[in-house]
Protein backbone atom coordinates (compact mmCIF):
# COMPACT_ATOMS: atom_id res chain seq x y z
CA UNK A 1 0.00 0.00 0.00
CA UNK A 2 2.78 2.41 0.89
CA UNK A 3 4.80 1.62 -2.22
CA UNK A 4 1.75 1.97 -4.43
CA UNK A 5 1.27 5.43 -2.91
CA UNK A 6 4.82 6.37 -3.91
CA UNK A 7 6.28 6.45 -0.40
CA UNK A 8 10.01 5.78 -0.36
CA UNK A 9 13.48 6.86 0.70
CA UNK A 10 13.67 10.30 2.28
CA UNK A 11 10.00 10.31 3.29
CA UNK A 12 8.51 10.20 6.75
CA UNK A 13 5.30 8.38 7.63
CA UNK A 14 3.42 9.12 10.86
CA UNK A 15 2.36 5.90 12.60
CA UNK A 16 1.09 4.84 16.06
CA UNK A 17 3.47 3.33 18.60
CA UNK A 18 0.57 1.66 20.42
CA UNK A 19 0.30 -1.65 18.60
CA UNK A 20 2.40 -4.24 16.84
CA UNK A 21 5.70 -3.33 15.13
CA UNK A 22 4.54 -4.54 11.71
CA UNK A 23 3.27 -1.10 10.70
CA UNK A 24 6.60 0.59 11.44
CA UNK A 25 8.39 -2.31 9.76
CA UNK A 26 6.33 -1.82 6.61
CA UNK A 27 7.32 1.85 6.53
CA UNK A 28 10.99 0.94 6.94
CA UNK A 29 10.79 -1.61 4.11
CA UNK A 30 9.89 1.21 1.70
CA UNK A 31 13.00 3.12 2.77
CA UNK A 32 10.93 5.74 4.60
CA UNK A 33 11.23 6.68 8.29
CA UNK A 34 8.40 5.84 10.72
CA UNK A 35 7.58 8.79 12.98
CA UNK A 36 5.51 7.99 16.08
CA UNK A 37 2.57 10.11 17.24
CA UNK A 38 0.41 9.75 20.32
CA UNK A 39 -3.04 8.20 20.53
CA UNK A 40 -6.50 9.28 21.60
CA UNK A 41 -7.07 7.63 25.00
CA UNK A 42 -10.67 6.72 24.15
CA UNK A 43 -10.13 5.07 20.75
CA UNK A 44 -6.47 3.96 21.11
CA UNK A 45 -5.97 5.24 17.55
CA UNK A 46 -3.84 8.14 16.32
CA UNK A 47 -4.84 11.50 17.73
CA UNK A 48 -5.26 14.15 15.04
CA UNK A 49 -3.58 16.96 17.02
CA UNK A 50 -0.64 14.69 17.85
CA UNK A 51 -0.29 13.76 14.19
CA UNK A 52 -0.27 17.42 13.18
CA UNK A 53 2.44 18.14 15.73
CA UNK A 54 4.58 15.35 14.25
CA UNK A 55 4.39 16.62 10.66
CA UNK A 56 7.61 17.95 9.10
CA UNK A 57 8.62 19.02 5.62
CA UNK A 58 9.51 15.39 4.85
CA UNK A 59 6.21 13.86 5.96
CA UNK A 60 4.55 12.08 3.05
CA UNK A 61 1.78 10.08 4.69
CA UNK A 62 -0.11 9.13 7.81
CA UNK A 63 -0.87 5.46 8.43
CA UNK A 64 -3.94 5.10 10.61
CA UNK A 65 -4.63 1.79 12.37
CA UNK A 66 -8.10 1.10 13.75
CA UNK A 67 -8.07 -0.65 17.13
CA UNK A 68 -10.16 -3.18 19.06
CA UNK A 69 -13.22 -2.79 16.83
CA UNK A 70 -13.41 0.99 17.08
CA UNK A 71 -12.46 3.37 14.27
CA UNK A 72 -10.10 6.33 14.51
CA UNK A 73 -11.43 9.87 14.12
CA UNK A 74 -10.77 9.58 10.43
CA UNK A 75 -12.49 12.83 9.40
CA UNK A 76 -10.19 14.89 11.65
CA UNK A 77 -7.15 12.96 10.39
CA UNK A 78 -8.14 13.61 6.77
CA UNK A 79 -8.40 17.31 7.58
CA UNK A 80 -4.80 17.21 8.84
CA UNK A 81 -3.81 15.44 5.64
CA UNK A 82 -5.53 18.05 3.49
CA UNK A 83 -3.90 20.95 5.34
CA UNK A 84 -0.42 19.51 4.81
CA UNK A 85 -0.85 17.70 1.49
CA UNK A 86 -0.42 14.23 3.02
CA UNK A 87 -1.78 10.84 2.12
CA UNK A 88 -3.92 9.33 4.86
CA UNK A 89 -3.86 5.55 4.61
CA UNK A 90 -5.92 3.21 6.76
CA UNK A 91 -5.27 -0.26 8.09
CA UNK A 92 -8.18 -2.13 9.60
CA UNK A 93 -8.25 -5.17 11.83
CA UNK A 94 -9.60 -8.54 10.81
CA UNK A 95 -13.32 -7.95 11.02
CA UNK A 96 -15.60 -9.62 13.53
CA UNK A 97 -18.18 -11.79 11.70
CA UNK A 98 -21.39 -9.81 11.32
CA UNK A 99 -23.35 -12.53 13.10
CA UNK A 100 -21.22 -12.01 16.24
CA UNK A 101 -21.30 -8.22 16.42
CA UNK A 102 -24.70 -8.02 18.09
CA UNK A 103 -23.75 -10.62 20.69
CA UNK A 104 -20.47 -8.86 21.44
CA UNK A 105 -22.25 -5.55 21.90
CA UNK A 106 -24.73 -7.15 24.30
CA UNK A 107 -21.93 -8.72 26.33
CA UNK A 108 -20.02 -5.43 26.31
CA UNK A 109 -23.08 -3.58 27.59
CA UNK A 110 -23.50 -6.15 30.39
CA UNK A 111 -19.84 -5.92 31.42
CA UNK A 112 -19.80 -2.11 31.29
CA UNK A 113 -22.85 -2.00 33.57
CA UNK A 114 -21.52 -4.52 36.08
CA UNK A 115 -17.74 -4.08 36.31
CA UNK A 116 -16.32 -2.00 39.16
CA UNK A 117 -12.82 -0.79 39.92
CA UNK A 118 -11.75 -0.77 36.27
CA UNK A 119 -12.44 1.77 33.54
CA UNK A 120 -14.67 0.25 30.89
CA UNK A 121 -14.38 1.20 27.20
CA UNK A 122 -16.44 3.96 25.67
CA UNK A 123 -18.88 2.48 23.19
CA UNK A 124 -18.65 5.01 20.40
CA UNK A 125 -20.46 4.81 17.09
CA UNK A 126 -19.91 1.55 15.26
CA UNK A 127 -17.83 -0.15 17.96
CA UNK A 128 -17.82 -3.89 17.18
CA UNK A 129 -15.88 -4.84 20.33
CA UNK A 130 -13.40 -7.04 18.56
CA UNK A 131 -11.67 -6.80 21.92
CA UNK A 132 -13.19 -5.59 25.18
CA UNK A 133 -10.38 -3.50 26.63
CA UNK A 134 -10.53 -2.06 30.13
CA UNK A 135 -8.04 0.02 32.07
CA UNK A 136 -6.78 -1.04 35.48
CA UNK A 137 -6.04 2.14 37.44
CA UNK A 138 -3.04 2.26 39.72
CA UNK A 139 0.64 3.05 39.66
CA UNK A 140 1.43 1.58 36.26
CA UNK A 141 2.28 -1.84 34.90
CA UNK A 142 2.77 -3.77 38.19
CA UNK A 143 -0.85 -3.09 39.22
CA UNK A 144 -2.34 -4.15 35.87
CA UNK A 145 -0.15 -7.24 35.68
CA UNK A 146 -0.93 -8.28 39.25
CA UNK A 147 -4.62 -7.81 38.51
CA UNK A 148 -4.30 -9.99 35.38
CA UNK A 149 -2.54 -12.75 37.29
CA UNK A 150 -5.20 -12.74 39.98
CA UNK A 151 -8.04 -12.86 37.46
CA UNK A 152 -6.39 -15.76 35.61
CA UNK A 153 -6.01 -17.58 38.92
CA UNK A 154 -9.81 -17.44 39.20
CA UNK A 155 -10.13 -19.20 35.83
CA UNK A 156 -10.77 -16.13 33.65
CA UNK A 157 -8.59 -15.64 30.60
CA UNK A 158 -7.37 -12.15 29.81
CA UNK A 159 -4.53 -10.59 27.86
CA UNK A 160 -2.36 -7.49 27.64
CA UNK A 161 -3.04 -6.05 24.17
CA UNK A 162 0.22 -4.07 23.86
CA UNK A 163 3.02 -5.04 26.22
CA UNK A 164 5.67 -2.65 24.87
CA UNK A 165 5.00 0.38 22.65
CA UNK A 166 6.91 0.22 19.38
CA UNK A 167 8.97 3.32 20.16
CA UNK A 168 10.43 1.41 23.16
CA UNK A 169 11.49 -1.67 21.17
CA UNK A 170 15.15 -2.10 20.11
CA UNK A 171 14.58 -1.72 16.38
CA UNK A 172 12.54 1.49 16.60
CA UNK A 173 13.66 3.15 19.82
CA UNK A 174 12.92 6.87 19.80
CA UNK A 175 13.30 9.62 22.38
CA UNK A 176 9.76 10.92 21.96
CA UNK A 177 7.09 11.91 24.47
CA UNK A 178 3.93 9.82 23.99
CA UNK A 179 2.16 9.99 27.37
CA UNK A 180 -1.17 8.49 26.28
CA UNK A 181 0.59 5.62 24.52
CA UNK A 182 2.70 4.88 27.59
CA UNK A 183 -0.32 5.07 29.89
CA UNK A 184 -2.38 2.78 27.68
CA UNK A 185 0.43 0.21 27.49
CA UNK A 186 0.66 0.21 31.30
CA UNK A 187 -3.06 0.06 32.09
CA UNK A 188 -4.96 -1.83 29.36
CA UNK A 189 -6.26 -5.36 29.69
CA UNK A 190 -8.40 -7.28 27.20
CA UNK A 191 -11.18 -9.33 28.80
CA UNK A 192 -12.91 -12.23 26.99
CA UNK A 193 -16.06 -11.32 25.09
CA UNK A 194 -16.16 -13.49 21.96
CA UNK A 195 -17.12 -17.02 21.11
CA UNK A 196 -20.08 -18.69 22.78
CA UNK A 197 -19.73 -17.18 26.25
CA UNK A 198 -22.66 -18.01 28.47
CA UNK A 199 -24.33 -15.67 30.95
CA UNK A 200 -22.78 -17.76 33.69
CA UNK A 201 -19.27 -17.21 32.27
CA UNK A 202 -19.92 -13.46 32.06
CA UNK A 203 -21.08 -13.48 35.68
CA UNK A 204 -17.92 -15.34 36.73
CA UNK A 205 -15.82 -12.77 34.85
CA UNK A 206 -17.57 -9.89 36.61
CA UNK A 207 -17.24 -11.55 40.03
CA UNK A 208 -13.52 -12.24 39.50
CA UNK A 209 -12.78 -8.67 38.43
CA UNK A 210 -14.96 -6.94 41.01
CA UNK A 211 -13.34 -8.88 43.83
CA UNK A 212 -10.05 -7.22 42.86
CA UNK A 213 -10.86 -3.97 41.11
CA UNK A 214 -12.13 -2.16 44.16
CA UNK A 215 -8.74 -2.64 45.85
CA UNK A 216 -6.88 -0.59 43.25
CA UNK A 217 -6.78 3.16 43.53
CA UNK A 218 -5.93 5.50 40.65
CA UNK A 219 -2.54 7.20 40.75
CA UNK A 220 -2.47 10.98 41.12
The pLDDT tens digits of the residues spanning 168-191 come to 999 899 899 999 999 999 999 999
pLDDT at res. 92: 83
The mean predicted confidence, pLDDT, of the chain is 91
pLDDT at res. 218: 47
pLDDT at res. 220: 39
- DSSP string for 89-148: EEEPPPPPPHHHHHHHHHHHHHHHHH--SSBPPP--TT---SSEEEE--SSSHHHHHHHH
**pLDDT tens column, 92-148:** 877 777 788 999 999 999 999 999 889 999 877 789 999 999 999 765 445 888 899
> Cα separations (Å) of 45 from 39, 40, 152?
5, 6, 28
pLDDT at res. 97: 79
Amino acid sequence: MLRAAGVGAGDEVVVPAFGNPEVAQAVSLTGALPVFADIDPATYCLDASAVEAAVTSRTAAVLVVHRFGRSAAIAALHQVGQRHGLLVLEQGESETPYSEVGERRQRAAYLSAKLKGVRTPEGGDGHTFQQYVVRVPGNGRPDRDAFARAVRAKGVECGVPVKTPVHRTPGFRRDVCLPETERAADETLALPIGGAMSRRELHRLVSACNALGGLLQPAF
